[in-house]
Amino acid sequence: MKKVISLLGLFLILSGFQACGPVIVSHRLADPPPPWFYPNRVEAVRYVFFPEFNIYYDLTSRVYIYLDGGTWVKRQVLPPRYRSYNLNRSRYERVRNYYDDNIERYHNENNSNRGRSNKSASRRSN
């Protein structure tokens, strides 16, 4: 009987979470995510990537990661050159299935050539 009551209670709690909307899975629940990050479902991600600006945000460490003079830096606040951008209105991508501390390796494997034109490709002449 206790097992049935426990399962019923667990079911009611989980149903309550579903009614509340999105739930963010994090080990630091006291720190809410930035206002621009509002996932549409339960999802465990560590990084968010802003492709237009080539900026990552680490949801675990709460820092922005970006290239500064050819070196990857981690800062809690964006430098002045990025402050005019509204990240609430910017497109971002969740970096799924990558939890390593070295975002440079992920970037080199997945996003290093993004947005560049391929000027060396041969073109067909008409």
What pLDDT is attached to residue 120? Answer: 39
Residue 126 lies in a domain: no
Residue 36 lies in a domain: yes
Mean pLDDT of 2-21: 67
Which backbone phi and psi does 10 adopt, to 5 degrees? -60, -40
Residue at 95 is within a domain: yes
Residue 121 falls inside a structural domain: no
- Per-residue pLDDT tens digits for 29-60: 556 667 666 655 556 789 999 999 999 999 98
| Domain assignment of residue 92, yes or no | yes
Q: Total domain count for the chain?
A: 1
Residue 107: pLDDT band with limits 50, 70, 90: very high
Q: What is the pLDDT of residue 8?
A: 72
Backbone angles phi, psi at 118, to 5 degrees: -105, 80
Q: Is 124's pLDDT higher than 60?
A: no
Residues 6+ apart with CB under 8 A from 64: 55, 56, 57, 58, 74, 75, 76, 77, 78
Give the C-alpha distances (Å, rounded to integers) separating 12 from 19, 24, 25, 80.
Answer: 11, 19, 19, 48
For residue 56, the enclosing domain spans: 21-110
pLDDT of residue 83: 82
Would 82 be classed as within a structural domain?
A: yes
Percent of the chain with pLDDT over 70: 63
